[in-house]
């Protein structure tokens, strides 16, 4: 249920409503706006009629049900776009944020070279995998904690915040110690024990869509993180599995405007995984910006032919710089910036 308080409600009155919601067995999630304060009461829908009694309070303007199954992610609870801040980087604002770097951290020289090159081209977040989920158990699995330390060194050298994937609940603490954004990969989008724990980790979370996950299922996965007390969730469209085999996946750019209608959370697009081929990344990156994406996740490697993972979809640094220039022109055309 959504409890809308009257304009001018004091801190004490807000706290009183929160206390009453808690006493009824619900969790209050308070959003303070410029004109109104809205409290989402999250819990078992079967007892929601009890919450209607709050309308008798002088400070309460209305109590209405949340129609979407995803409560905290819904625009019914928050109509304004959410902003996720990572240091000086703002995700969900007027600027399209580009996160770029190698699929896997392979060596100190590789990650430092890529970090310097993507920063020079205009990227504001460095991506890189330390723990790598691979389809084959014989494929390169990442440098693990050593890779995290190399990413942290690249951050010290360049000032770029770090995004990297966490795969297991018991690895959250060590990844959060080094990373600025915790990425939940497509294979873990419905790993609910992992989602609950990253919700309590205190770091922004980028949640990738699963290859066979509907938008509603994806938003319900985001709900696990949000309900754990973490409001800083970023959604990432990275392609879904269809009958088409020409590309690695089918990049669902429909998802961008659909999500913008349904949720207040920032939306990022990964054209590298979405296509699986470097020559299509530029077109899909520009299309994503035109569709309204708040950011891009792009793989960059100095020598893709030698990459230990996902070389065919990685851009060389010079190509990435050219793509950034074209993305910037598209962004300006739709009243955004890069």
Report the SS3 class of residue 238: coil
Distance, CA of 262 to CA of 272 (rounded, Å) = 25
Does the residue 221 lie in any domain?
A: yes
Distance, CA of 114 to CA of 317 (rounded, Å) = 7
Q: How many CA atoms lie within 13 A of 287 on its CB side?
A: 15
The CATH number of residue 319's host domain is: 3.20.20.70
Whether residue 188 sits in one domain with residue 256: yes
Whether residue 47 sits in one domain with residue 111: no
Does the residue 70 lie in any domain?
A: no
- Written as tens digits, the pLDDT of the chain (338 aa) is 899 999 999 999 999 999 999 999 999 999 887 778 999 998 887 777 889 999 999 999 999 988 889 999 999 989 899 999 999 999 999 999 999 999 999 999 999 999 999 999 999 999 999 987 666 776 666 788 999 999 999 999 999 999 999 999 999 999 999 999 999 999 999 999 999 999 999 899 999 999 999 999 999 999 999 998 899 999 999 999 999 999 999 999 999 999 999 999 999 999 999 999 999 999 999 999 999 999 999 999 999 999 998 999 999 999 999 999 999 999 999 999 99
Paired tokens of 69? 């199954």
Distance, CA of 193 to CA of 56 (rounded, Å) = 39
Does the residue 75 lie in any domain?
A: no
Whether residue 157 sits in one domain with residue 95: yes
Does the residue 175 lie in any domain?
A: yes
The CATH number of residue 19's host domain is: 3.30.70.1140
Q: Phi and psi at residue 269, in whole multiples of 5°?
A: -120, 140
Q: Is 11 exposed, middle or buried (0-12, 13-18, 19+ CB in 10 A)?
A: exposed
Q: 183: which strand partners?
A: 165, 206
DSSP 8-class letter at 209: P
**Domain that residue 21 falls in:** 2-64
Whether residue 91 sits in one domain with residue 6: no
Listed residues 12, 29, 64: the one ending a domain: 64
Cα-Cα-Cα-Cα dihedral of 142, 146, 151, 156, to 10°? -170
Using alpha carbons only, how large is the chain's radius of gyration in Å? 21
């Amino acid at each position: 249920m959504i409890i809308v308080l009257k304009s001018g409600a004091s801190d004490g009155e807000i706290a009183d409503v929160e206390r009453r919601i808690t006493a009824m067995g619900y969790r209050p999630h308070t959003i303070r706006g410029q004109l109104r304060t809205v409290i989402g009461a999250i819990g078992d829908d079967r007892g929601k009629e009890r919450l209607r009694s709050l309308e008798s309070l002088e400070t309460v303007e209305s109590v209405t049900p949340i129609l979407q199954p995803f409560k905290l992610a819904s625009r019914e609870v928050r109509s304004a776009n959410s902003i996720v801040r990572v240091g000086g980087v703002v995700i969900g604002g007027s600027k399209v944020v580009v996160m770029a770097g190698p699929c896997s951290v392979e060596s100190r020289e590789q990650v430092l070279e890529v970090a310097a090159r993507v920063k020079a081209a205009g990227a504001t977040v460095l991506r890189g995998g330390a723990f790598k989920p691979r389809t084959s158990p014989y494929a390169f699995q990442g440098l693990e904690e050593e890779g995290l330390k190399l990413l942290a060194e690249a951050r010290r050298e360049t000032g770029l915040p770090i995004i990297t994937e966490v795969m297991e609940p018991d690895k959250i603490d060590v990844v959060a110690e080094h990373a600025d954004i915790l990425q939940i990969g497509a294979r873990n989008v419905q790993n609910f024990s992992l989602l609950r724990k990253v919700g309590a980790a205190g770091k922004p979370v980028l949640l990738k869509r699963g290859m066979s996950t509907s938008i509603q299922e994806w938003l319900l996965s985001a709900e696990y993180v949000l309900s754990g007390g973490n409001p800083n969730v970023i959604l990432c469209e990275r392609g879904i599995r269809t009958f088409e085999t020409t590309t690695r996946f089918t990049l669902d750019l429909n998802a961008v405007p659909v999500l913008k209608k349904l949720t207040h959370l920032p939306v990022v697009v990964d054209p590298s995984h979405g296509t699986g081929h470097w020559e299509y990344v530029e077109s899909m990156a520009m299309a994503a910006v035109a569709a309204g994406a708040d950011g891009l996740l792009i793989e960059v490697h100095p020598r893709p032919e030698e990459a230990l993972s996902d070389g065919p979809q990685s851009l060389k640094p010079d190509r990435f710089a050219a793509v950034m220039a074209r993305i910037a022109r598209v962004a300006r055309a739709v009243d955004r910036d890069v």
